[in-house]
């Protein structure tokens, strides 16, 4: 046993010393700043930070560690495997929002975690476990993905009442169209939700946490019962609202928290007429200096950026040449003094040039996907 612990510790120490070619840098100050933006918009609400999908690509453990210095009521994740990764790291309560197979309930933590239970079969399985569990019920108000319909509330609560070990800690829903400048669908969902909460209160339950709004909804929700805000994409500095939205300006102070850097590993002198990468879609029309980077679409770089995107060095644009490969991307460094070993900025934390937001706006790419596609194999460093 001691030998195993020693080997694991040795590997961790050795790994930290290993110099990496690609690095994801996470700016702690920006994460905390973004959390405070939402808190200032909703001073009477608890904040629940969404860390599902590896914290939107930023690194589950790293963001959980950063948030230990913040006032979060919950850390929200999707699968229990995510909760297990941060169980002994986070100081906050964990809300598991994803579906749990009934056969796995006996393996669940019932001290630090609360669970969104979507159906009565899962509710029964949780109750029959015998241990005390805190439950959040999701109401389907128009997303039509998960949750119970309003006409199922009475029977759901009747089932829950049969098990004295179950506590209805929360009620939630999810806004399907909050990033739309037209708020009519969002307003309809909130009315359905508030009516459902009123029904739950009338039946005799008084859940502590009531939540419907995510980052986009935070700027526009008018629920008279909601007291929790689930902050997802906004926590990482992305404004989910369109510029034509009347509420867009409320979230313009968000700061991107991620920066991706890579290292030049080879420099080639290209002659006129020579081509670069698969299918030769780029052909030099003059002498060019091309640099190879050790990251491609496996690590992060969308293939859609082939021969039209760019990275930067000190705000100088370095165009991508040819097709993006699985583990390599070639860039044009002509006119610079860059050489092997120099660092290049792949994703900027500034809202300009090659930021996530500008990649999304300029090339029609989905900002959420740009973040979550960041491969877990790249080292995350908290700055």
Q: What whole-number percentage of the chain has pLDDT above 70?
A: 96
Question: Looking at residue 104, what DSSP letter applies?
Answer: G
- Residues 139-155 pLDDT 10s: 999 999 999 999 999 99
Is 3 inside any structural domain? no
Residue 13 clears pLDDT 70, i.e. is over it:
no
How large is the average pLDDT for residues 352-364? 92
Count of domains observed in the chain:
2
State whether 75 and 153 are in the same domain: yes
Residues 228 and 114 occupy one common structural domain: yes
- Tell me: do 195 and 266 sit in the same domain: no
- Assess whether 186 and 221 both reside in one domain: yes
- Give the separation between CA 27 and CA 33, rounded to whole angstroms: 10
Per-residue pLDDT, averaged over 353-357, amounts to: 93
pLDDT > 60? residue 8: no
- Looking at the structure, tell me whether residues 353 and 236 fall in a common domain: no
Is 225 in the same domain as 360?
no
Considering the domain boundaries, does residue 366 fall inside one?
A: yes
Compute how many other C-beta atoms are within 10 angstroms of the C-beta atom of residue 198. Answer: 12
Q: Give the integer Cα–Cα distance in Å for 341 and 268.
A: 14
Q: 222 and 177 in one domain?
A: yes
pLDDT tens digits for range 152-208: 999 999 999 999 999 999 999 999 999 999 999 999 999 999 999 999 999 999 999
Please give the pLDDT value at position 268: 96
CATH for 317: 2.40.37.10
184 & 53 share domain: yes
pLDDT by residue (tens digit) across 75-130?
A: 999 999 999 999 999 999 999 999 999 889 999 999 999 999 999 999 999 999 99
Residues 164 and 294 in one domain: no
Do both 201 and 243 map to the same domain? yes
Residues 38 and 63 occupy one common structural domain: yes
Asked if pLDDT for residue 351 goes beyond 80, the answer is no
Give yes or no: residues 58 and 107 share one domain.
yes
Query: Which residues form the domain of 270?
Result: 258-382
Helical residues (DSSP H) of the chain, grouped into ranges: 2-17, 28-41, 52-56, 60-67, 80-86, 120-129, 153-161, 184-203, 215-218, 356-363, 367-372
């Amino acid at each position: 046993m001691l030998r195993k612990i020693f080997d694991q510790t040795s590997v961790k120490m050795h790994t930290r010393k290993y110099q990496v070619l690609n690095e994801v840098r996470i700016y702690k100050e920006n994460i905390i700043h973004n959390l405070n933006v939402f808190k200032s918009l909703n001073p009477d609400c608890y904040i629940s930070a969404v860390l599902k999908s590896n914290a939107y690509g930023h690194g589950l453990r790293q963001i959980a560690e950063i948030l230990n210095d913040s006032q979060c009521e919950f850390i929200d994740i999707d699968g229990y495997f995510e909760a297990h990764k941060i169980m002994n790291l986070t100081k906050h309560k964990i809300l598991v929002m994803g579906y749990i197979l009934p056969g796995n309930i006996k393996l669940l933590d019932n001290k630090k975690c609360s669970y969104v239970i979507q159906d009565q079969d899962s509710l029964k399985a949780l109750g029959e476990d015998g241990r005390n569990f805190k439950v959040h019920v999701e109401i389907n108000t128009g997303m039509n993905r998960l949750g119970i319909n309003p006409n199922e509330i009475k029977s759901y609560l009747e089932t829950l009442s049969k098990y004295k070990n179950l506590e209805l800690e929360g009620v939630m829903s999810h806004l399907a169209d909050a990033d739309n400048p037209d708020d009519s669908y969002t307003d309809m969902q909130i009315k359905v939700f508030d009516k459902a909460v009123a029904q739950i209160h009338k039946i005799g339950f008084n859940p502590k946490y009531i939540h419907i709004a995510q980052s986009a909804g935070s700027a526009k929700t008018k629920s008279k019962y909601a007291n929790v805000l689930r902050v997802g994409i906004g926590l990482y500095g992305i404004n989910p609202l369109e510029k034509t939205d009347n509420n867009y300006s409320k979230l313009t102070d968000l700061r991107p928290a991620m920066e991706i850097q890579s290292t030049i590993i080879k420099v080639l002198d290209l002659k006129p007429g020579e081509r670069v990468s698969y299918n030769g879609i780029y052909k030099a029309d003059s002498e060019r200096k091309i640099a190879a980077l050790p990251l491609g679409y496996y690590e992060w770089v969308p293939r859609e950026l082939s021969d039209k995107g760019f990275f930067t060095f000190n705000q100088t644009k370095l165009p991508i040449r040819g097709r993006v490969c699985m583990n390599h991307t070639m860039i044009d460094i002509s006119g610079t003094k860059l050489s092997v070993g120099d660092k290049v900025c792949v994703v900027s934390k500034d809202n300009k040039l090659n930021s996530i937001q500008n990649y999304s706006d300029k090339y029609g790419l989905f900002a959420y996907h740009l973040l979550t596609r960041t491969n877990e194999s790249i080292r995350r460093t908290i700055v």
